[in-house]
Amino acid sequence: MTISVVILAAGEGKRMRSRLPKVLHDIGGQPLLAHAIATARQLSDARIHVVYGHGGDQVIARLNGLLPPDTARWVKQEQQHGTGHAVAQALPGIDESSTVLVLYGDAPLISAETLRRLVAASADGALALMTVELDNPAGYGRIVRDKAHAVTRIVEEKDANDSQRAIREINTGFLAVRAGQLRQWVERLDNSNAQREFYLTDVIAMAVRDGVTIRTVSPASPFEVLGVNDKAQLALLERYYQKMRAEDLLKNGVTLRDPARFDLRGELTHGTDVTIDVNVIIEGTARLGSRVTIGPNVLLINVEIGDDVEILANCVIEDAVIGAGCRIGPFARVRPQTRLADNVHVGNFVEIKKSTVAAGSKINHLSYIGDSTVGARVNIGAGTITCNYDGANKYETIIGDDVFVGSDSQLVAPVRIGDGATIGAGSTITRDAPAGELTLSRAPQQTHPGWKKPVKKRRVEE
């Protein structure tokens, strides 16, 4: 059976109070619409039709790469006249025998398993409708059933009477039905309602009149079908999404010191005995080895971290590879294109950018290392910086194995420090330093006997 997934993503989202199209607001570091597309792609034999409208250029620019051109297409809804009108824009590109599955670009948490159950319920020509009971159903269309508990129609809240508003079972908008049937009903829709829109929900009453079986399916959690209409709802779904991600990690053996204070905004793979403290944020793709410990208030973006690594509090590591046994922080920043080999120590208030550091080296305090190649077993003293930028171009610093760089030194690139060299504290090195030798640059130390400290003059009282 071929499934044609129609994702409705054309709405403006005025209540978001943002210039950004609603479906481009993020949940877990990805746009709302990206979540819906990713779930749709988990369904076998599915073709995806995304109906877009408001902010269309932005939407396509951000998400076009997620749609395989051989199994997906963008469908433009020039003017937004309701959900029925939106589905009508997609139907001309859908085969009559296909099962149409309607999703929403602002409902990011629907699961593939729930959608499979919905599609299965549409077998034998039935219309499958996803419903859920809410304690507070305000704002949603109500499911109206007859005395035999069969669905007869859906009433939108603005068109409902008092008894209908008391119904707690609501329409989620998700449905599955044969394309040929849906086409006939959509062509008969009218907009004689309070909103003057073409409601997709009106096809339910048409299906009942045509003798079509209506089957209902409910999600595992109401959060699966909740949509985002304002920033409060966005925040609510973000927290639920993070709760689910945290629970998955806990089930897989990760220790989270406080699951409520952890955000995963990407994908995380990990080994055993990983411990993550509070207020850690992980973005992009992260791979953690075994026995990794991450301290509080750490930001990791696109990182690969080896076994037995300790990252102390308040560190930022981005687009970097960290070898086994490293110790980083606290308050360290490891910037893109940095590779640390095994057992490297990077201490407090150290920044490393676009550099490789070989095994066993230490950069422990208040230093900047940029555009550099650092050898093995190097010790770089506090306050050392590589001066890699002349205001127009960047140059490389090469430090050999077993080098000792004294505190408060400046290495002015391009420069090479030979194996086993020692750089005296307080030096400014502008030329290559030979291997195995002490190199320093200092002004002669002077003492001035009898020198007196300045004394602040007293103010004369008037």
Please state the domain count of the chain: 2
Binned at pLDDT 50, 70 and 90, residue 458 comes out as confident
pLDDT at 372 over 80: yes
Residue 447 belongs to a domain = no
Percent of the chain at pLDDT > 90 equals 86
161 with 202, same domain: the answer is yes
Rounded Cα distance, 411 and 20, in Å: 46
pTM, two decimal places: 0.90
Residue 79: pLDDT band with limits 50, 70, 90: confident
Q: Enter the DSSP assignment of 90.
A: H
- Residues 110, 165, single domain; the answer is yes
**According to the model, what pLDDT value does residue 409 have?**
97
Residue 25's contacts (CB-CB under 8 Å, 6 or more residues apart) are: 13, 16, 18, 31, 32, 228, 234
pLDDT, residue 178, reads: 96
Kindly state whether residue 401 falls inside one of the protein's structural domains: yes
pLDDT in tens, 57-67: 899 999 998 88
**Distance of alpha carbon 184 from alpha carbon 442, whole angstroms:** 89
Supply the pLDDT for residue 326: 98
The answer to whether the CB of 291 falls within 8 A of the CB of 273 is yes
Largest CA distance in the chain: 110
- Separation between Cα atoms, residue 253 and residue 276, nearest integer Å: 11
Catalogue the active-site residues: 365
Beta-bridged to residue 7, according to DSSP, are 50, 103
Torsion, Cα of 311, 317, 322, 326 (10° steps):
-30
Question: Looking up tokens 């020509």, which residue turns up?
Answer: 125
For residues 225-249, average pLDDT: 96
One domain for residues 257 and 335: yes
Instruction: Answer whether residue 194 shows pLDDT above 80.
Output: no
Amino acid 352 reads I
Q: Is 407 exposed, middle or buried (0-12, 13-18, 19+ CB in 10 A)?
A: middle
pLDDT at residue 119, as a whole number: 97
How high is the pLDDT of residue 167? 96
Is residue 130 domain-shared with residue 10, that is, in the same domain?
A: yes
The Cα-based distances of 79 to 39, 129, 275 in angstroms read 27, 26, 51
Same domain, 186 and 278: no
Query: In this structure, what CATH number is given to the domain that contains residue 115?
Result: 3.90.550.10
Domain final residue pick, 196, 224, 252: 224
Per-residue pLDDT at 462: 54
Instruction: State residue 387 phi and psi, 5-degree precision.
Output: -90, 85
Instruction: Show the domain range for 34.
Output: 3-224
Taking residues 73-86, what's their average pLDDT?
92
pLDDT reported for residue 461 = 65
Lowest mean pLDDT among 28-42, 170-184, 196-210: 196-210
**How far from chain centre, in Å, is Cα 301?**
10
Question: Residue 377: its pLDDT value, please?
Answer: 98
- Are 216 and 241 within one domain? no
Average pLDDT over residues 409-416: 97
Is 410 a member of any domain?
yes
**β-pairing verdict for 280-288 and 362-365:** unpaired
**Is the C-alpha dihedral spanning 103, 105, 107, 112 positive or negative?**
positive
Claim to verify: residue 254 and residue 365 sit in the same structural domain: yes
Residue 453 lies in a domain: no
Please, which residues bridge with residue 363 across strands?
Answer: 346, 380
Amino acid 268: pLDDT: 98
Assign 117 to helix, strand or coil. Answer: helix
Residue with more model confidence, 54 or 316: 316
Contact 387, 410 (CB under 8 A): yes
**H/E element holding 89?**
helix 83-90
The predicted pLDDT at position 320 comes to: 98
The DSSP code for 374 is E
Tokens of 381: 């003293």
Q: Which H or E element spans position 242?
A: helix 231-251
Residue where a domain terminates, one of 224, 245, 261 = 224
Q: Using one digit for the tens of pLDDT, what is the confidence trace for 439-452?
A: 999 888 889 999 88
Asked if residue 161 is part of any domain, the answer here is yes
- pLDDT score of 385: 98
Type and span of the H or E element at 239: helix 231-251
Let me know whether 215 and 264 are in one domain.
Answer: no
CATH code assigned at 420: 2.160.10.10
Question: CA-CA distances (angstroms) from residue 366 to 123, 348, 371, 381?
Answer: 67, 6, 17, 9
Instruction: Output the pLDDT for position 11.
Output: 87
Q: How confident is the model at residue 1 (pLDDT cuts 50, 70, 90)?
A: confident
Local confidence band at 195 (pLDDT 50, 70, 90 cut-offs): confident
Query: Is 126 in the same domain as 163?
Result: yes
Instruction: State the pLDDT at residue 70.
Output: 84
Least-confidence region, from 129-143, 170-184, 407-421, 442-456: 442-456
Instruction: Compute the mean pLDDT over every residue in the chain, rounded to the nearest whole number.
Output: 95
pLDDT band at 118 (very low <50, low <70, confident <90, very high): very high
Residue of higher predicted confidence among 434 and 451: 434
Provide the CA 265 distance to its chain's centre, in angstroms.
3
Domain end (from 200, 224, 248): 224
